[in-house]
Structure 1
Amino acid sequence: MDSSLLGQRIGLQIRSMRLNRGHTQAELAQLAGTTRQKLIEIEQGSLSVSMNAYARVFAALGTEVKLVPVSMPTLDDVEDLFNE
């Protein structure tokens, strides 16, 4: 997956969580200890923002990152697991 696409997807999810919790950008930025401009960059999926800034926003939203595969394995991929 292209890294810029990944950044955009994370940014959209952060924006969605912020809106679902009823926060403005300014409110969430204050909770996260960052600037509104930095939050705007995060919501736009900027790859130049530090992981620390993302982590502070995740913490302010009361959420965590969970990595999931882009696609599920096929039967051929897991076949050897059942042959042992």
Structure 2
Amino acid sequence: MDYSLITTRLGEQVRQRRLNRGLTQAALASLAGITRQKVIAVEKGDLSVGMMAYARVLGALDCEFTVVPARMPTLDDIQGVFD
């Protein structure tokens, strides 16, 4: 499986959790002790973001990592591939 798809999915889940909690990116950054730009990178699934940033963000959202078997991408996941 493509690594970028995994981080993209994680970023989407982080963003949804942040929105569900009613937090702005700046507020989450403050809680996590990182910059707003780093939160943006996490939510985009940027491959250059280190594990510590993901851990800080998830901790600030009262979440943790869980390892689950990967699933095949859906049509929504790959919609922009052939544009």
Larger helix percent: 1
Number of corresponding residues: 71
1:5 matched to 2:8: no
**Runs in 1 of length 4+ with deviation above 2 angstroms?**
none
Q: Does 1:61 align with 2:65?
A: no
The two structures have a TM-score, normalised by structure 1, of 0.82
So what's the TM-score if we normalise by structure 2? Answer: 0.83
RMSD of aligned residue pairs (Cα, Å): 0.8
Bigger Rg, which one = 1
Percent of residue pairs identical: 59
CA distance in 2, matches of 1:24, 1:43: 12
| Alignment-derived partner of residue 38 in structure 1 | 38
What are structure 1's unaligned runs of at least 5 residues?
A: 72-84
